[in-house]
Amino acid sequence: MDIMSIAFYVIIFLIAFMIARIIMKIMRGY
């Protein structure tokens, strides 16, 4: 794997993690 694909997957993982945290906050809020 080259650097660009690794960086791409890391960015996707971080975005998914932040979205999951926001969803958990919303679910807990209700």
From CA 8, how far away is CA 29, in angstroms rounded? 32
% of the chain beyond a pLDDT of 70 = 93
Q: What angle do CA 23, 29, 30 make, to 5 degrees?
A: 100
pLDDT confidence of residue 26: 93
Q: pTM, whole model, 2 decimals?
A: 0.62
Rounded mean pLDDT, 2-6 = 94
From CA 27, how far away is CA 30, in angstroms rounded? 5
Rounded mean pLDDT, 6-28 = 96
Rounded mean pLDDT, 2-26 = 96
